[in-house]
Amino acid sequence: MKRALVVVAFFGALLLLWETATLSGRWSPVLLPSPADVAAYLWSAVRDGTLLAAAVVTLKRLLIGYALGIALGLPLGLTISTSNYFSDTIGALALGLQTLPSVCWVPLALLWFGQTEAAMLFVVVMGTVWSVVLATYAGARTIPPIYARAARTMGSEGFDKWTRVILPAALPYVVSGMKQGWAFAWRSLMAAEIFVTILTGFGLGNLLQYGRELSAMDQVIGVMVVIVLIGLAADKILFSPWERLLHRRWGTGDV
Amino acid sequence: MTATHVEPYGSPPANLVVEGVSKWFRTERSIVQALKNVSMRVRGGEFVCLVGPSGSGKSTLLDIIAGLTAPDEGRVLADGQLVQGPGRHRLVMFQEPALFPWHNVLGNVMFGLKRKPGLSNRQRREIADDHLRLVGMEKFKTAYVHELSGGMKQRVALARSLAPDPRVLLMDEPLSALDAITREQLYADIQEIWRKRPKTIVLVTHNVREAVCLGDRVLLLSPSPGVVSEEFKISLPRPRDINTPELAVIAQNITAALKGYLVQPGAAAE
């Protein structure tokens, strides 16, 4: 309760500071709209449906691309862990591509896929997949060999060993890789949406860029607030359950 | 794996024959012989302890009996059948409990059972519950591994190894990482559990008293390369208490024999 009050007080003070700054008249309201203006924009955008529509377009790209990235990354990471030849080659490639901000794929994606959803998905997949690959590989490589030995004596071999022993044993690594992949994918998607207009859908990034073109800073800041809120929600919904599970079962990390 | 037995309890303990087993370990610069022409027989239901200094290859021998490592020469027969790989008739308890952190206590005991064919899920649950009761861990079914003490972990590991009803239980220094009081409690419990679930047991240990307390026979492995050099029959009545003077006398004799091998230099890793 006390902690909740502190949170309310902190964000209240932040809003108050912002409001005071706009009231002081030192900055043009075009450059620094008041919190009330931003709230008014958000309310109108919610009512006319543009915000929801844009959020749906963006989240769809993100979730589909993210799921694809994980679906590709997990088996690839496990495969790499089986042989030094794979880790020297595919592993090195994955490390290289992970350091490449995936927004760098946008020009190529546009040429390959045109201004379509596929181009956006491609950018998200490229943001996700390498982090998942590397984390899964690291996890599979660092699990105590005794787990595999114990599992072998109890009759766990082949596919069962990979899915019921090695993958769960690597889970702490996999979750952190998924989290990193999410962060990369989310940033890249925003950059891509600001960068290019995709004919098949108008996402949050497009909405933000549109606000800039109209010099509607209330819209720009409003969309930014929504992007932050989605990021926070993703953290709570996608990752907190996993982290609680890891904390409960492995006894590591904090809740 | 030639698993044919499906009855939940009481598959008969297997006899083990180790015939002329040798094993070399090759590193880039050298070849070390870990075992040299080791032969031994273990009767069905017998409790045999392998004692030896580091480098005597006793853990390697246990791995070979388990089928986790292949011998370079010789062979291992379990009930007359050639051991060619790991199998659920020969389960292993390791020095580390090797419990899976992603499962709770019950899930760990269920792991081997789930991979044993011919059982219904209800039977598996009942067997798991029975074995948790047997090792005194029934109250901790839903606990996770990190919440348990070292002794509790090994109890769960024992339940996990016994639940699929193996014919042979192989123990690789399972008590050596525990404190003395916990260990003594487990000496008593292991004897009691072995009485209720007669398995062929091969236990590897550094601890001579432990071997005398638990074993029907104690085999001495001498190091570099490992050979079975002496055998001691222990005929003390059971259950045995590790603190009795009779037991201490026998342990002293074995320790004296063991010391004869300790001075040899160049002992390699086990």
Asked if A149 lies within 8 A of B164 by C-beta distance, the reply is no
Residue A245, both tokens: 């599970």
Q: With 70 as the cut, is the pLDDT of residue B191 above it?
A: yes
- ipTM of the complex as predicted: 0.84
B62 lies in the same domain as B182: yes
Residue B127 lies in a domain: yes
The per-residue pLDDT for range A173-190, each reduced to its tens digit, is 999 999 999 999 999 899
- Do the chains contact at A144 and B98, CB–CB below 8 Å? yes
Q: What is the pLDDT, as a whole number, of residue B205? A: 92
- Report, as an integer, the average pLDDT of A126-138: 95
CATH assignment at residue A152: 1.10.3720.10
B87 at interface of A, judged by CB pairs closer than 8 A: yes
Q: Which one of B106, B115, B172 would you mutate to disrupt binding with A, by most A Cβ within 10 Å of its Cβ?
A: B115
Assigned domain for A75 exists:
yes
CA-nearest of A153, A252, A163, A79 to B98 is: A153
- The residues with which B75 forms a beta bridge, in sequence order, are B19
Q: Are strands B168-172 and B90-93 parallel, antiparallel or unpaired?
A: parallel
Q: Do the chains contact at B111 and A156, CB–CB below 8 Å?
A: yes
Lowest mean pLDDT among A8-12, A100-104, B85-89, B257-261: B257-261
A66-118 tens-digit pLDDT: 999 999 999 999 999 999 999 999 999 999 999 998 889 999 999 999 888 99
**Tens of pLDDT along A219-228?**
999 999 999 9
The backbone torsions φ and ψ at residue B266, rounded to the nearest 5 degrees and listed phi first, read 75, 25
Mean pLDDT over A48-59 rounds to 94
Chain B residue numbers with beta carbons less than 8 Å from the beta carbon of A153 are: 66-68, 86-88, 90-92
Query: Cβ contacts of residue A49 below 8 Å, gap of 6+?
Result: none
Question: Does the structure show a pLDDT above 60 at B1?
Answer: no
pLDDT in tens, A228-240: 999 899 888 989 8
Kind of pairing between the strands at B200-205 and B227-233: unpaired
What is d(CA B52, CA B63) in angstroms, rounded to the nearest whole number? Answer: 15
State the average pLDDT over residues B120-147. 94
Confidence of residue B58 (pLDDT cuts 50, 70, 90): confident
Q: Could you tell me if residue B233 is inside a domain?
A: yes
For residue range A9-41, what is the model confidence (pLDDT) as tens digits? 999 999 999 999 998 888 888 888 999 999 999
B114, B141, B165 - which closes a domain: B165
The residue with greater pLDDT, B260 or A144, is: A144
Same-domain status, B68 and B180: yes
Higher pLDDT, A124 or B55: A124
Considering only CB atoms, which chain B residues are within 8 Å of A149?
A: 68, 92, 94, 98
* Domain encompassing residue A154: 50-250
**Contact (CB<8Å) B98/A165:** no
